[in-house]
Amino acid sequence: MAIGRLTVSVFVDNIAQPLSGAKVNISGENTNIDLVTDESGKTETIELEAPDVDYSLEPQNVTQPFSTYTVTASKDGIGTNGVVGVQIYANVDSFQNIVFGTTLGESAKNVTVISPPALWANDPTKLVENSTQLNEINPKVLPRIVIPEYIIVHDGIPSDTYAPNYYVAFSDYIKNVACSEIYPTWPRETLKANVHAIVSFTLNRVYTEWYLSKGYNFTITSSTAYDQKYTHNRTIFDTVSNVVDEIFNKYLQFPNQSYPFLAQYSDGINVVREGWLSQWGSKSLGDQGYNALQIVRFYYGNSINLETAELVPNLPTSFPGYNISKGDCSEAIQLMQNALNKIKGSYPAIPLISNANGVFDNETLEAVKKFQSVFNLPVTGIVNFATWYKISAIFAAVSNMLKGIYG
């Protein structure tokens, strides 16, 4: 057996309200560990047994390439919440969120069961959809390509009126799908190629309002027969999360098309379709040293390009276009400092920046590093694209909570 790692975070209603002092139990075969969340709602990171990494690197293995555990969180006056099937891979950091809902005044025992990833589970085969005939059914098309704040995910097939709809932050949705579709142990460039396809497919659904134009009240479904696999409350993996944070606004587009390419894909073993990305094939190309763009062009054609979708920032300004670090000085840094100070109201472990004057000083460095640690980003002290937009997203969540938007 090999070793993977798990960190559990507990919230009330949403990420703006971490729950400190929650009791967390992690159980599995020969495992029974009790932990308590800190002031940021996080447990310490623990090591857990996982199958050898080789099982996730070769197709058609008969041995499950991940181990599963049950995680339960509880706190007096709030209730108990559990997740069954938390997945642990060798040499991978796994993050599991547990969210208590209080909007209905509930204090109950809730259990979520995480289904296996699509490569391991017997999920329905994706239906063939002609991405080159976008206008044949004359769908509604948005005026520009932007990254939406939320995706409305219908957790079932389109016609299932009893399936719930979930509002999921865009980058969280992409992370969820990538962790549900492929293995986090694959080469980084393979992960990037698959994320490009997932983002592009999603933005095609957003841009064309594919389901809204047909009278549905959601953006996309969780069914692999129609869209991409989404598993509510699933475990997220650091290798995937870090890639998504860097490229969640990059999508695929052909020169003669004005919309994101409907980048369809299959496992490449049980289902093989010309013009679709092969997930296992992309892993093989990554092993051979192909970069992400070379991989997507191998399957979709050499004329396909990577484009950048417009971001609607939650902070008053967008990422300045370059990394910010100690010693820098700008108005953008002052906005970031003020945002971190507001976030501190919900996350007291983040140090106060006493002089938010736009100078990236030692206090700012320590606040950035603590923010990165709390939100599972690489702790560099440098504000890159991923850190900037994570600060922006958490700032929006905290601001909305203070305004009463989250109940």
DSSP state of 54: G
CB 281 within 8 A of CB 288: no
Residue 29 CB contacts under 8 Å (≥ 6 apart), including other chains = none
Structure tokens at 221: 């479904």
- Domains of the chain (ranges; CATH) run 2-113 (2.60.40.10), 134-311 (no CATH), 331-402 (no CATH)
Residue 404 CB contacts under 8 Å (≥ 6 apart), including other chains = none
C-alpha 252/C-alpha 306 separation (Å) is 5
- Grouping H, G, I as helix, E, B as strand and the rest as coil, residue 226 is coil
Q: What is the pLDDT along the chain (407 residues), one digit of tens a residue?
A: 899 999 999 999 889 999 999 999 999 988 999 999 999 999 999 999 999 999 999 997 789 999 999 999 999 988 899 999 999 999 999 999 999 987 544 445 688 899 999 999 878 777 777 654 444 445 567 778 889 989 999 999 999 999 999 999 999 999 999 999 999 999 999 999 999 999 999 999 999 999 999 999 999 999 999 999 999 999 999 999 999 999 999 999 999 888 999 999 999 998 889 999 999 999 999 999 999 999 999 999 999 999 999 887 676 678 888 999 999 999 999 999 999 999 999 999 999 999 999 999 999 999 999 999 999 999 999 999 999 999 999 998 898 765 443 33
C-alpha 382/C-alpha 370 separation (Å) is 12
Closest CA to 279 of 193, 174, 205: 193
C-alpha 404/C-alpha 206 separation (Å) is 27
Q: Model pTM? A: 0.92
